[in-house]
Structure formats: structure tokens, C-alpha cells
Amino acid sequence: MNDRNVIKGKPLNFNVGIQRWYVKELANLVDELTKDVYREIKPLYKEYKEQITLDASISSQARITLNKLREFFEKKFNDKGKKLAEKMAKKTNRYANTTFLQMMNNVLIYY
């Protein structure tokens, strides 16, 4: 290939806005998990506040509660995570296509 047929352009840059959106969505999911765990576990400690050590009753209740939350949030993270990843890929693809087309409009083609 000779230099007259080479198309030169700028490199495609990563879109920081898409990254911020994705991180925010994941943080919201983690915040929801944290709030639910706190809301479910805190009453256990109030109920058993007379007991100084973690005996079998509170640890058993905590384990049961945390297992239910784990199952719920595993499903939620799997479902939501997949949807977020697909949406991020679409946004990134759209951004890359737009950026590429803009770059191509500004390219000098040497013949």
C-alpha cells in the first residue's frame, strides 16, 4: 500500500461520561444492598441487645437473614449487571460510531 491511499485520523478516545454513568449505576446497586442489609440486620441486634456475646440464636438469625439477602441480591446483581453491561456496550458503540464518522469527515485522503 502506498502513502497516497492511507487514511490518517485521530485515535478514538474513551468516553468519560459513559464511564461515570456506569460507575454511578453500580454504586446505586451497592448502596441499595447496603441499606437492605442494615435494615434487616439492625433489628436483630436490638432484639438480642441483652446478650453481650453473639450466641447461637442471634448468629443463626443473622445467617438466615443474610442468606436470604444474598440470594435476592445475587439475582438482582446478575439481572441488573447484565442489563447495565448491555446498555454500556450500546452507548459505547454509539459513541465510537459517531466519533469515527466525525473523524472520517475531517480526514484528508491522499491520492
Ranges in the chain, pLDDT < 50:
110-111
Given this model, what pLDDT does residue 15 score? 85
Given this model, what pLDDT does residue 50 score? 64
Given this model, what pLDDT does residue 110 score? 45
Q: What beta strand segments (E) does the chain contain?
A: none
**Residue partners of 37: CB distance under 8 A and separation at least 6:** 66, 69
Neighbours of 109 (CB within 10 A): 10
Which residue's entry shows cell 446498555? 87
| Residue pair 80/29 in contact by the 8 Å Cβ criterion | yes
Spacing of C-alpha 109 from chain mean position: 41
